[in-house]
Structure formats: C-alpha cells, structure tokens
Amino acid sequence: MASEGLRGALTAVLGGRGLLVQNYDSGPAGEPPAPVRLRRNVCYVVLAVFLNEQDEVLLVQEAKKECRGSWYLPAGRMEPGETIVEALQREVKEEAGLQCEPLTLLSVEERGPSWIRFAFLTRPTGGILKTSKEADAESLQAGWYPRTSLPTPLRAQDILHLVHLAAQYRQRARHPLLLPQELPCSLVCQRLVATFTNVQTVWVLVGTVGTPHLPVTACGFTPMEQRGGIKMAVLRLLQECLSLHHLAVETQGLLGLQHLGKDLTDGICMNVLVTVAFRNPGLQNEPPKVRGENFFWWKVVEEDLQNQLLQRLRDSSVVPINR
C-alpha cells in the first residue's frame, strides 16, 4: 500500500498536478514558522513574456517616478486574495491593456523565501493595446518590438535573459507546459523529489512520519536562510538524515508550483527535483545511508516512473530556479 501511495504521489508531482501540503518534515530552528502573509513577510511578483509570430516582444513604458520612460516586460506585485494567474492577468491588463492567458511557467527567481518572482510565457486573448493617450499611473503605453532590437532605455537588463528563455522554449520546449495548481498552503515550502541514480536505477528519498510521503521542508526567514536562498531549506532537511560532507546536492529545478491565495493562505509549495550524488563515486552503487527512522530511500521499480525521472534528469526537463 505504501508503494502504491508513493507511486501515485510521484506520478502527480511529475505531471505538475501537485499534492496538498499536510505537514512538513523539516522546519527552521526555534519556534514553528508563522503563516506567511503578502505585504507583511513575503512579496510575490508576476511577469509576462509575450512573443508574437513576427518574433516581437510586448513591452510597457514605465510611469513610476524612479524609472519613468524606461521599458520593461509587464510585471508587478501580487495582491492579497489573488491566485498567481489572476495577478498576472490583472497586471497585463493594467499595464498593456490586453487580456491574456499564461501558457507555461518559464522561470522562478528568488532572493530568499521573502521575495519570489514567477515569469510566464503568455499569449494575448483580447483587449486593446494601451497607447500614450491612455497613459496612467500604471504605465505610459505598451508596444510590440523586434526581439533583437528592443527600445531603450530598459528599466533593467534582467529581462533579456527571460526573453531569450521564452524564445528558446518556443523553439524547443525543455519541460512540459506547467501552470500553478490552486492548492492552499500557509508557508513557503518545498516538496522534494530527491533522487539518487546508478546507471538505470533511481531511488527517491521518502519521509516516514505518518504515511510514507515525498518530504516537505519549510523555508525560514532568518538572515542566514534569506542570504542563502530557498536551497537552504533543502540542505537543512537533507542534513537531518544524511552525512552531506561527502555528497553533492543540487536542486535541478521546479516540477510544479502550488498556491491558492484565498482565505489568507498566502503560502506556496514548490515541488523541486533534487539530485544527491557521492563526490567521489568510486564503487558506490547504493544511495548514501540514512540516519534515524524518519526517512528511507525508495527504489523506483515501475518502469514508466523510472524512465520519466531519468529523462527529466538527463534533459534538465524542469523550470529553472534562479537567484
């Protein structure tokens, strides 16, 4: 029965569907983490990349005093009570005058768990492009510009990487289409698909407290975890059950994103693919020994799941998480 539940959970996470967060296996030292609240202790930003058939990018001209007249992708902070998609659609409507539909998450950027930005490849579905006659506090105007010849000045150069990422995705999608799943969460946390591989064999780390499950780690807001970024919560959980000094641990990227934003549930859960490997493999054919009884390595024997995991690892078929 445990294996059936794990197979179902892994299938859901690999399919981008997500799972309800019931509890967490690792949390920051000290008091239990308080629920997160937008405008209090977290800030989420949404950003839209539009590319049309003429290889043009939709940009908006900024109206804010500190960057007035410069150009940027439609973007802005989420408001309490919004889903991620609702926030994206509101920002695009306010800044560019268009209705839109997100096609896939392109990138997640973070400056620690208190500031996270979600960038989407997006397409217009209606509306009228904002002109200088409709200039307001949100933007001065919007326009389509050749991807290789963007207007200047840009508000920041960081959008160039995102535009390039969108063009790459349209040419060759490295990961499946991925959109946020509307599932409530009270914390900023990560569900780990932590893998150890040997040739064609894959093991996945499993938590044992309660029903066997994919482990969840809650992000902390201490200065150290803020400086180190969300990977600190991953390392904390693994440090609690493995001797990391002889291991290489890498977060490969995002398999799924969960958020609801209703009823004061401002938390998010990021389902992340993590690799664990020996720094000096030698003759090590088995995963590293687990300390204690709260975790174990589950050998994935179902061929379809094993192939999915190996393909995701081989092709880096995940949404990148950047810092």
The DSSP line for 244-259 is GGGEEEEEEEEEEEEE
CB atoms within 10 A of CB 33: 20
The confidence score (pLDDT) of residue 264 equals: 79
Q: pLDDT tens digits for 89-133? A: 999 999 999 999 999 999 999 999 999 999 999 999 999 999 999
The pTM assigned to this predicted structure is 0.96
Phi-psi region of 279 (alpha: psi -120 to 50; beta: other; left: phi over 0): alpha
DSSP characters over 29-77: SSSPPPPP-BTTTBEEEEEEEEB-TTSEEEEEE--SGGGTT-EE-SEEE
Q: What CATH number matches the domain at 43-171, 3.30.300.30, 3.40.50.720, 3.90.220.20, 3.90.79.10? A: 3.90.79.10
Name the strand (E) or helix (H) holding 274. Answer: strand 268-278
Cα–chain center distance at 83:
15
Positive or negative torsion for Cα 155, 160, 162, 167: positive
Ordered alpha helix ranges (H), the chain: 2-14, 84-96, 158-171, 223-228, 231-241, 303-315
d(CA 142, CA 140): 7
- Fold agreement (7-37+179-216+230-279+288-314, 43-171): yes
Q: What is the pLDDT of residues 58-88, one digit of tens each?
A: 999 999 999 999 999 999 999 999 999 999 9
Q: What is the mean pLDDT of residues 196-201?
A: 90
Q: What is the mean pLDDT of residues 189-200?
A: 95
What span, in angstroms and rounded, lies between the C-alpha atoms of 314 and 316?
6
> Is residue 141 within 8 Å of residue 135, measured between CB atoms?
yes
Query: Is there a contact between 277 and 48 (Cβ–Cβ < 8 Å)?
Result: no
- What is the average pLDDT across 180-192? 97
Q: Which of 76, 85, 165, 94 is nearest to 134 (CA)?
A: 94
CB atoms within 10 A of CB 201: 15
What letter represents residue 237's amino acid? L
Would you state the structure tokens that stand for residue 174, as one six-digit string? 């490295």
Closest alpha carbon to 319 in 186, 190, 167, 165: 165
Q: Check whether 1 has a pLDDT greater than 50.
A: no
Where are the domains positioned within the chain? 7-37+179-216+230-279+288-314, 43-171
Tokens 């397409």: give the residue: 123
- The answer to whether 102 touches 87, Cβ cutoff 8 Å, is no
Average of per-residue pLDDT across 196-219: 95
What is the 8-class DSSP label of residue 200? T
- To which residue do tokens 């609801």 refer? 260
Q: Cβ distance 269 to 21 under 8 Å?
A: yes
137 φ, ψ (degrees, to nearest 5): -70, -15
Stretch 141-155: mean pLDDT, rounded?
A: 97
**Structure confidence by residue, pLDDT tens digits, 260-294:** 998 878 999 999 999 999 998 776 889 999 999 99
| 296-322 pLDDT per residue, tens | 999 999 999 999 999 999 999 999 999
pLDDT interval class at 2 (50, 70, 90): low
Q: Domain 7-37+179-216+230-279+288-314, what fold? A: Nucleoside Triphosphate Pyrophosphohydrolase (3.90.79)
Element (H, E) at 105: strand 98-110
